[in-house]
Amino acid sequence: MENTDLLRAKSSHAEFWQHAHQYFDRVYQTMNLDPIWREVLASPKRVLAVSCPVKMDDGKIQVFTGYRAQHNNARGPFKGGIRFDVSVNRDEVMALAMLQTWKNALVDLPFGGAKGGVVCDPKKLSFGEKERLTRRYTSEILPIIGPAHDIPAPDAGTDAQVMSWVLDTYSMMVGHQELGVVTGKPVHLGGSVGREEATGRGVMYVLRAFLATQHKPLENTRIAIQGFGNVGFHAAQLLDEMGATIIGITERKSGIFDENGIDVAAAGLYYRERGDLVDYPHGDAITNEELLTCDCDILIPAAMESTVTAEVAPHIKARIVVEAANGPTTPDADEILRDNGVTVLPDILANAGGVTVSYFEWVQGLQNFFWSAEEVNNELQKIMDRAFAAVNAKADEADCDYRTAAYTIAISRVAEACRLKGLFP
């Protein structure tokens, strides 16, 4: 019998898939595109479910379930992360793959969207168990991945070490080293400098570009960040370096609040050593729910999907919401925020820095020619600034919010690729 938490998780992911469709439908019906392509754009091209039996440290065999969803490859190979989390299921990866398609198109990368994952709690796996699970999962999805087909990357619960195992497993099975099969690798294995902090850096670039249109500096803005993993930590660190004041940070179980500003480096070290922020000695304890509605200038949801709901949205005091996570705002909440005059910088724009530097890494791996950190960061800034400028211009031209503008640009690019290619046979 399934427990209540599992049933609730399945229900929330079904809603997330519906939310991804709502955002798509809301924009598509305003674009006057040929309706013949609507179902093609709204449907995943392929969803693979795999069984991953793994020998655990105690000698027992545990069977894990894995997925890989590939949404649309009209503009190029599929691209998207792999997450290890207890919440992973089919609806979630389909929704995330769709969002990835729009994100890649918006920043004009030659990729389609994909997403994968394994249902597990990575914190409960030993190092060896995680390696064996990664290698088994890679071998199971191997028929549909590859540098010209589908290029995975890190996501929630995975990191550069996991990508190293994916690289090695794929390379062993095809008989040669294939650097372009995965991104987010360690620099020593053909990864790109700047990839680890790329998503957080992209968040900073987009926020800075928006504030410039309002003639406002980043300095002394009060920012609250939900989520203290890779994206949340690096966004906090970079914004702190730019002169912003980080007043609130939360992770899954705990958080801290300090009106005078949090020492991001110290909090990051504490989190990496302990895995949470419980009993952090500097600042007051705060929950995720309290952080979302705290008194701040800018709110950055950098955790998981559907955290900003219709119940939370009316109480958000921030005037700017920057979506560093994928799909953190539900459609109902999005309407409430818009009606309340809150500017939302949408996920497919704000958090596209990670996939952009993944693109750089893919190119470097294919060419076996590697860039400096300065080159990576300069090229990332150019792409993020160009994408924001396009979204800002579209929002002004159509007199619409940034999400509508971003989706309009992204969908039109994918739809045009589909139209030009036509159907086979």
Map 302-367 to HEC letters: CCCCCCECCCCHHHCCCCEEECCCCCCECHHHHHHHHHCCCEEECHHHHCCHHHHHHHHHHHHHHH
Q: Confidence band (pLDDT; 50, 70, 90) for 275?
A: confident
pLDDT digits (tens, 9 = 90+) for 388-408: 999 999 999 999 999 999 999
Give the three-state DSSP class for 274. helix
pLDDT at 12 over 70: no
Give the pLDDT of residue 5: 44
CB-based contact 322:347 (threshold 8 Å): no
Please determine whether the domains at 4-177 and 198-345 fall in the same fold group of CATH. yes
The tally of CA atoms less than 13 A away on the side-chain side of residue 147 is: 18
Q: One-letter amino acid identity for 151?
A: I
Tokens of 38: 């609507």
Distance CA 40, CA 314 (A): 35
Residue 2, classified by CB atoms within 10 Å of its CB into exposed (0-12), middle (13-18) or buried (19+), is exposed
Domain extent listing, the chain: 4-177, 198-345
Active site residues: 115
Give the dihedral sign, CA 155/161/164/166: negative
First to last CA, the chain: 45
Give the pLDDT of residue 8: 45
Give the pLDDT of residue 13: 62
Region 225-234: what's the mean pLDDT?
93
Q: Confidence band (pLDDT; 50, 70, 90) for 4?
A: very low
What is the architecture of the domain spanning 198-345? Answer: 3-Layer(aba) Sandwich (3.40)
Which residues have CB under 8 Å from 281's CB, separation 6+?
A: none
Q: How many residues does the chain have?
A: 425
CB-based contact 144:67 (threshold 8 Å): no
Distance CA 295, CA 292 (A): 9
For 4-177, the fitting CATH number among 3.40.50.10860, 3.90.550.10, 1.10.3720.10, 2.40.340.10 is 3.40.50.10860
Tokens of 143: 């028929």
Region 272-290: what's the mean pLDDT?
90
Give the pLDDT of residue 21: 87
